[in-house]
Every structure is written in C-alpha cells, then in structure tokens.
C-alpha cells in the first residue's frame, strides 16, 4: 500500500481495518482451502476439529477481513489453449502506477501484475495462445500505453506450480 501511494504521488490512505491475528485453527483452514478451494464446510470443520457453524463463521470472517481474496481454479494454461507464457517487465512514468495497472488489467491473458522495486517498475505475467499473439500483445497493446517507457519480455519455457503441499507446513503462520 505504501508503495502504491508513493507511486501515485500520495492520496487517501487505505481504509481497510487492521488485520486480526490468525490462530492455529484459522491457519489450518487457510491451508485446507489453498489445497482444495472446493472443500465443504463440513470437511473443513472435521479436519480442524471445530463445529460446522464455527468453521462457517471463521471462513466468513476470513473473507470479510480480506484474508481470503476469493476462490478460483488453478489452470493448466497450455491445456487451456494458452501455450505461450511470459513475464514482461515494464519501466513506467513516475506516479503512473494506477493508470498503468488499470490498462494492464484489461489486457487479454494478463494473470498477475505487481509493482516492484529494482531495475524495472512492473512485473506482468501473461498467457497467450501462441508467440504471435504474445508479440502482438507486447508490441501493439503494452508498448502503446503512453506511460510505459520500456518493456522486456521473458518467455516461460516450463512452469511448476508451488501451491500448498503437506510438506510445506510453515507456509501460513
């Protein structure tokens, strides 16, 4: 948030209430839902040894507090017809983060956008049907954004999803 305010030249502070501490049951619920976002309330309650009402209330609180941002499917992009993937780094005009972010969010195939520090300002992950579509996206759409000063495209040859696994128990908390 502070980086966003700095990149945009200030602005109103975020009105999100401060985060509540997560207890071991909350962390266990998060691990379960990260592994299987389709897990039923009943299954979650049984796995964390609480009542269904308690599990339901905790999950709702985690959603309302913004800890859980949503539920989604992890997609194999190649099998879904998005065979070309790339990370694109962008240097942008100072104080243009919000404007650039809005335009990048509208791009077909954009799946992750991050404001970062270092040699470039933005890191964008895209998935396209093929290299021709990727070329068009970069040369026609992204480089046409007035606030984008330069880009660098890093092709992804192979991906490994590092989602939650039982051997990574320290991920949350």
User: pLDDT digit string (tens) for 88-118?
Assistant: 999 999 999 999 999 999 999 999 999 999 9
Cα 42 to Cα 49: distance, rounded to the nearest angstrom: 10
Q: 3-class SS at 115?
A: strand
Mean pLDDT of 7-15: 47
**Cβ neighbours of 122 (radius 10 Å):** 22
Question: Cβ(125)–Cβ(109) under 8 Å?
Answer: no
Give every CB contact of residue 96 below 8 A, 6+ residues apart in sequence.
Answer: 7, 147
Mean pLDDT of 133-158: 96
Q: Residue 7: in which H helix or E strand, if any? A: helix 2-7
Is a pLDDT exceeding 70 seen at residue 151?
yes
Cα 103 to Cα 98: distance, rounded to the nearest angstrom: 9
Q: How far is CA 64 from CA 30, 53, 155, in A?
A: 14, 16, 37
Which pLDDT tens digit goes with each residue over 14-66? 566 677 899 999 999 999 998 888 999 999 999 999 999 999 999 999 999 99
pLDDT at 14: 55
Q: 3-class SS at 19?
A: coil
Mean pLDDT of 122-143: 96
Range with the poorest average pLDDT among 17-21, 36-40, 140-144, 162-166: 162-166
The tokens describing 47, both together, are: 């796995």
Higher-confidence residue of 161 and 143: namely 143
Is a pLDDT exceeding 50 seen at residue 12?
no
Higher-confidence residue of 27 and 4: namely 27
pLDDT at 17: 67
Ramachandran assignment for 126, one of left (phi > 0), alpha (psi -120 to 50 degrees), beta (any other) = beta
pTM (2 decimals)?
A: 0.70
Give every CB contact of residue 159 below 8 A, 6+ residues apart in sequence.
Answer: 77, 85
């Amino acid at each position: 948030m502070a980086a966003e305010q700095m990149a945009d030249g200030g602005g109103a502070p975020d009105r999100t209430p401060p985060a509540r501490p997560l207890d071991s049951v909350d962390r266990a619920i998060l691990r379960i839902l990260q592994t299987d976002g389709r897990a039923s309330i009943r299954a979650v309650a049984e796995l964390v040894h609480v009542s269904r009402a308690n599990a339901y209330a905790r999950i709702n609180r985690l959603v309302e507090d913004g800890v859980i941002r949503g539920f989604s499917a992890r997609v194999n992009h190649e099998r879904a017809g998005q065979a070309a993937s790339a990370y694109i780094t962008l240097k942008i005009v100072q104080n243009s983060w919000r404007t650039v972010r809005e335009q990048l969010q509208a791009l077909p195939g954009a799946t992750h956008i991050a404001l970062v520090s270092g040699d470039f300002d933005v890191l964008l992950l895209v998935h396209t049907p093929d290299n021709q579509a990727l070329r068009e996206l970069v040369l026609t759409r992204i480089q046409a954004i007035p606030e984008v000063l330069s880009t660098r495209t890093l092709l992804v040859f192979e991906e490994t999803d590092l989602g939650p696994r039982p051997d990574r128990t320290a991920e949350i908390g």
